[in-house]
Amino acid sequence: MAAERPSKGRTKHTSPTASIRYMDGSTRDVPLAQLRLRDFSESEPWRRVRSIHGMKHYSGDYASATTGGQVVYESRLELARLLLADFDPSVCRIFAQPCRMVTRIDGRVRSHVPDFLLVMRSGTVRVVNVKPASRLQDPTVIQALAWPGELIERHGWEYEIWSGAAPTLLENVRFLAGYRHPGVLPDDEVERAWRKIVDGEEMAVAERRLAGNRKPEEARPALMALLWAGRLTTDLTSRPLSGESVLRRRG
């Protein structure tokens, strides 16, 4: 893709624009009204996240099972939202810092880089901004998050401001994430467990039956992989995963 020079000054922006950065080093400005998912093909995050000793923010790269690659994040809260997106079977694509939005409001040019863009299997697109709940009472933060949401929803995409989830849910999903990548367990072992699972039985019962002559905990990884994949479900919100967790088959 040929590089397009971004405007040196922001005074030229008279209509909402999304600037997208690509892996080949080029940058493209797209009128927001014309923005499509295909514009993000072979794109990269608008900012390159770097971890520096002494930084107050916790940033890094997350190895996503959904994308099959690394997704950047700039805080622990962003990592939590990213983890839940990776766990959500309805999400099929994840873009971090997908673009820089620029528009003119009350005579002033404003810019904003959303945290994530999620693409659902249904075709729905959701733009997500992550912000601690403690900062959502700040008038400056409210204004900074409001105008991007108005533009995104006017475009026909969903807009989400995310400030956290139930701690128990996050801890359970973090644990299951250890089983998120294909190949962590042999496929035949996971499939054998899937065939033998009885809908509605407790995890401890399933482990004992699947283990046979082995220790019950040796059967646990296959159940964790099935839970991460969404083929099994259980209550992850109100209680930690345990032998009393009731397993349900899905699909």
Residues 227 and 245 grouped into a single domain: yes
Indicate whether 52 belongs to any domain: yes
Domains contained in the chain, number: 2
Determine which helix (DSSP H) or strand (DSSP E) holds 128, and give its type and residue range. Answer: strand 125-130
Residues 180 and 155 grouped into a single domain: no
What's the one-letter identity of residue 188?
A: D
What pLDDT does 11 receive?
43
Residue 182's pLDDT band, with cuts at 50, 70 and 90, is confident
Residues 135 and 233 grouped into a single domain: no
Q: What is the pLDDT of residues 202-240, one digit of tens each?
A: 999 999 999 999 999 999 999 999 999 999 999 999 999
Residues 144 and 34 grouped into a single domain: yes
User: Beta partners for 127?
Assistant: 117, 159
Indicate whether 175 belongs to any domain: yes
- Check: CB of residue 175 under 8 Å from CB of residue 245: no
Q: What is the CATH number of the domain that holds 102?
A: 3.40.1350.10
Residues 117 and 196 grouped into a single domain: no
CA distance 58 to 216: 37
Domain end position, chosen among 162, 187, 206: 162
Residue 6's pLDDT band, with cuts at 50, 70 and 90, is very low
Indicate whether 11 belongs to any domain: no
Indicate whether 1 belongs to any domain: no
What pLDDT does 77 receive?
97
Residues 55 and 153 grouped into a single domain: yes
Residues 142 and 222 grouped into a single domain: no
What pLDDT does 47 receive?
86
Q: Provide the domain limits for residue 73.
A: 17-162
Q: What is the CATH number of the domain that holds 224?
A: 1.10.10
pTM to 2 decimal places: 0.89
CA neighbor of 247 nearest in space, from 217, 213, 205, 214: 205
